[in-house]
Amino acid sequence: MRTLFILAIICFFSFNIYSQDTICKRNGQILFVKVLEVSSTEITYTRSDMIDGPVFRESKTKIKSISYSNGSKETFTSSKPEDDYTNKADYVNSTSSLVKTNIGKPRLTITVNILPLFFNERSLFIDYCYKERHSVGINVGKYFSNTFLNEFFKNSKWVAYSGLTTGLNYKYSFSKKQKYYVGAELIYKYLSYSGYTFIDSKKGNSDINYVRSETANVYGLDIMYGSHLAGIENGCDVDFYCGIGYRYRDRNYNTLSCSGGGFNGPSSNGYGNPNYVTPPKVIYFPLGTFHTTEQYPTIVLGLKIGVNVFFNKTKH
């Protein structure tokens, strides 16, 4: 009699286990249930530990599959990727991480500085981010003589140079996203102009015309703060930066000729004689070759636009 009772209990529990359905949700949650109905939009079920109720309803978009007690399995698809997550925040975090899979990867950035293009400098920047927050880079460029600028500076003793420019920089980003950074750059420039005519105009005097040529070696250090406006995880890069710099200029110039300097008004040298005129072609600047050095601060400002190329990390 006892043996029959035990067998009955075993059969009862075996039946309950066998008749149990299993729901697998898209977020990974497993439910042991008794499925009551599967409609076009939802699934109705009771929990296996509360077989008599209450009745639960679940949207089919949140259900990945149902394994029935008879051994069959039903799989469902969803057109909404957010249904794979228990709440919207999880979905947003997940998609954000999917979009930003390039963060942390080694990155090669090739850009041009837009602002100097309006003057006479063309430069190409190549930066390599070798370790999350750290990057190094070089730039090479050329100065072109600019007729408009030369005409604009004609009476101010300034000139638009021709020449070459190079730089070596290092940047440190404040976070892994590399939105903001600080950096330093060493700069070298070789500049020159040849046979340029300056006009020195003074009130009451005729113009002094002098022709000069010059070569200059410029050494500099820039400290800058910048931001990747487009986000470094994207294929395109927009980099704005500003800062301060220091320049040391070593100049060698030749004054090739100089003429002018006539005075057309009253002069103390003429003892008040209104008709006194100084001799023409008075040379105010000595001819010959001269050497001078200059040191001065400068403001750094740039807007670089280019592309990012990402590389997979090397596994050791």
Torsion sign, CA atoms 176, 178, 182, 186:
positive
135-158 b/e (C-beta count within 10 Å ≥ 16 → b):
bebebebebebbeebbeeebeeee
Extended beta strands in the chain, E state: 21-25, 30-38, 42-47, 55-59, 63-67, 73-75, 107-113, 121-131, 134-143, 162-173, 180-200, 208-228, 236-260, 288-310
| Residue 236 pLDDT exceeds 60 | yes
**What's residue 1's pLDDT?**
54
Whether residue 75 contacts residue 64, with contact meaning beta carbons closer than 8 Å, is answered with yes
d(CA 275, CA 284): 22
**What's residue 199's pLDDT?**
62
SS3 at position 286: coil
Cβ neighbours, 10 Å, residue 21: 20
Q: How confident is the model at residue 229 (pLDDT cuts 50, 70, 90)?
A: confident
Average pLDDT over residues 160-185: 90
d(CA 206, CA 259): 10
Q: How confident is the model at residue 263 (pLDDT cuts 50, 70, 90)?
A: very low
**What's residue 295's pLDDT?**
95
SS3 at position 38: strand
| Residue 177 pLDDT exceeds 60 | yes
CA dihedral 282, 285, 289, 293 (to 10 degrees): 180
d(CA 215, CA 112): 26
Q: Is the pTM of this model over 0.75?
A: no
Q: How confident is the model at residue 95 (pLDDT cuts 50, 70, 90)?
A: very low
